[in-house]
Chain A
Amino acid sequence: MSRLVKEYVKIADALKNDPTFSHILTLAPVSDENLHKWEATLTGPPETAYNGHKFNLQIDIDDEYPLKPPRVQFQPQTAPHCNVEFDSGRICLDLLEANHWSPAWDLLHCIHAIWLLLANPEPDSPLDIDLACLVRAKDYTAHDALVKYYLNGGSRGPATRSKR
């Protein structure tokens, strides 16, 4: 628990003073009383379809942190990405899984890694088949257009659509 307090101080300082993390607009506990629930806001990486949009992340930290990874997901139905389950916001990123996690990681770098994932879709472990197929086919024009369509409120149709 004391580690979270230390991270809290470190994060506040990094967000204020370190330009490396300027894309993280906020990263803080939802309330001061409960350090197990955090929230973050990211800006979309420049030169990607996500540019100009903001993304909210929900972070749950259990008592075993930092020996176990935090649970991080996007706000449901806000992040069209080939490694994100759109309806739930679940993220597929190896470092967030228990067998790839290391206690030397911290929240700041987890969130940074998710920002990097936005710009670097990994089609070999997809949670969104449609977008993954476009990345795999290297049709980035179509991929970016589809992402922008969803980001601007375009309908994805029924949830089963991507499994067809």
Chain B
Amino acid sequence: MSAYEEEHATTQATVDNRRDLREQIHELYQENGNSNVLLQLLSQLIPESMQEELLQDQKQGCPDDYVDSLPRVKNDKIGHHEACSICCCNYREDDYPLVVELPHCGHRFDLECVAVWLSKSTTCPLCRDDVLSHKPKIDVSQVEIEDDWGMYG
């Protein structure tokens, strides 16, 4: 074993393996960059323990489309002294504030601030309400219920 191998607790086999992987990646990249295959190969280069961490990180947050769907607060509905509790900045300091409201608890944040938080978590920073735990409400007020809703003989 060489000094390098000892120091990095690696063997010739894993070094060869990594070199093969690197060559494959290079080829793929040169050809057309099929991103899925490329990602799979890249993930093999990451030690297993860290792979799990990466996967967990991805699982913990809200999906991107959830964040995109958050209702925006109109500028004239934002109080003059209202501030985002993540960055502590007054919304009105910005001429064009992009403020969103979480649908259930109604807490407001800068979209930019809360988007980063919700990419790693599913709870409201202020009340810890799990934003994904609520099923979308079905609006029943418009549904007509027929009087003679029954069986006919």
Contact = CB atoms under 8 A, between A and B. Distances in A.
Contacts of A10: 88
B88 A102 contact: no
What is the interface of chain A mostly: helix, strand, loop, or mixed? Answer: loop
Interface in B82-126: 85-89, 113, 116-117, 120, 123, 125-126
Interface residues of B, number: 13
A7 B88 CA distance: 8
Interface string B123-138: 1011010000000000
A138 interface: no
Nearest to B116: A67
Contact of A6 (B88, B123, B128): B88
Interface residues of A, number: 11
B87 A67 contact: no
A102 B123 contact: yes
Contacts of B125: 102-104
B88 A3 contact: yes
Given A102-B126, A104-B125, A104-B126, A67 B88 contact: no
A66 B113 CA distance: 10
Nearest to B88: A6
A112 to B, nearest CB: 16
Chain A CB within 10 Å — which of B88, B113, B116, B126 has the most? Answer: B88
A103 B123 CA distance: 11
Given A66-B87, A104-B125, A104-B126, 15 more contacts: A2-B87, A2-B89, A3-B86, A3-B88, A3-B89, A6-B89, A10-B88, A66-B86, A67-B116, A67-B117, A102-B123, A102-B126, A103-B85, A103-B86, A103-B113
A7 B89 CA distance: 11
Contacts of B86: 3, 66, 103-104
Interface in A1-57: 2-3, 6-7, 10
Interface string B53-97: 000000000000000000000000000000001111100000000
A102 B87 contact: no
Contacts of A66: 86-87
A10 B90 CA distance: 14
